[in-house]
Structure 1
Amino acid sequence: MPSFNLKINQPCGEDFNKFTPTEKGGFCQSCQKEVIDFTNMSESEIIEYIQASTKKTCGRFKSSQLKHYHIPVQSSRFGKFRSCLTFAVISFLSILNTEAKTNEISKKPKVELQEEKKISTNLETTTEKYTITGRVMESSGEGAIGVNVVLKGTIQGTATDFDGNFSLTLDKPKGILVFSGIGYQTQEIEYDSNQLTNLTVYIDADIKGLLTVGEVNTSLLYSSKKSIWQRIKDFF
């Protein structure tokens, strides 16, 4: 999948708030250029603008927006057919693998199978899981993307999706969740087994170093290395 890294090599020291307002941002009198304000753009809008731009762009970004972007690939009718064919091949291979495992299990002595079933049953009855779901919001009311959600004192965690939603399964009925990310202040929230779903967490922006203004650099445009399944798809 095509992708690129968005960064600013040399941040500008000018104050964006003092620029003359324009339709897309502000005009810098120092460098005589329009500085595009990307801070309120979605990820898809940023990708669309960068792809359509034919000249050097100066922009204002949140620190969280200076990252790696994947460019969506438009699928054709043939591409859809190829995807369906690939899915059929993968499904067929999965069926063969399942049958092989079933045959292997059927060859095991009955005593051994009974012991495995007993151990499995004991584990299921002694280990209870707690799934916590919710959404992390910015002060603007938008979902916070890429915020880390970690159980304090452990490495168990996840990250919010493009809408700020998260889902985390833990084996503790209560504890403290730590919310952190680039451009955000770290937030800690207690949870317990009585409140595990539809949590709403507001995370404040880290004003210090949050906004970056400067010339956009997307020179690291490249295509990521294909996986084995992508190679199978190309074969068809």
Structure 2
Amino acid sequence: MNTSLPISIPQPCTRPWAAMTPTAHGRHCGACQTEVVDFTRLSGAEILAYLARRGGRPVCALANTTQLAAPAPVAPWRRWLLAGLALLGWQPVSSCGTRLPQQLPAQATAAATNSAAAPAPQLIIRGQVLDGASQTAVPQVNVFLNDTKFGTVTDAEGRFELVLARDWAPIAGGTVELRFVGSPFDFQEQTVRLDARAASPGLLVVRLASAPNRGRLMGSIRMAEPPMKPPVK
């Protein structure tokens, strides 16, 4: 069984593992001209022994996420800082380098009307994002609208809701394109197109396909730094 090791891959590589040339210890990356060692078939002791033999030289590897050290927890002061920046209009950047969706601008929403004769001024899109393999809900999936920076994020149950004014410029042409972006190491990006001129659709269920080598990261290995001894007075 895999156990977490004091190693990490701070900048994962997205090059396709399947396209690389097999070698004795893994595969050869033609772009980097280096061997990518397959840690997924090694035990924790074998990995540490291999790194020791390298004597501190750089190692590029493919590893299961369960073999890597968990990311450091976000300090409370940093959570407050991110919340403050969000209130000021700054948008944090996710670990995969994609900016999070921004809240819809005022012109994107419209007040409902009580007139039965008037067409509904709003397009309401509700849905749920599921893992296509396990059929479980997927939280924290970014949902982008058309080619804009606006959208929303799925909740703990994978659900989302968008209330749009039908005359909002990005959808005034009659098409709504929802782009679902989850963890690039787990899911493939998916796009769903809807007719903005039709009545509001029912619950939209989106099933995300697994990314190749799901649950694995590839890139340069970084060893965790041991704690430093306190200075002697």
Is this a same-fold pair by TM over 0.5?
no
Higher helix residue share: 1
Bin of the TM-score, shorter chain as denominator length: 0.3 to 0.5
The higher relative CO (CA closer than 8 Å, separation ≥ 6) is in 1
TM-score by length of 2: 0.42
Task: Give the TM-score of the pair, scaled to structure 1.
Answer: 0.41
- Whose Rg is larger? 1
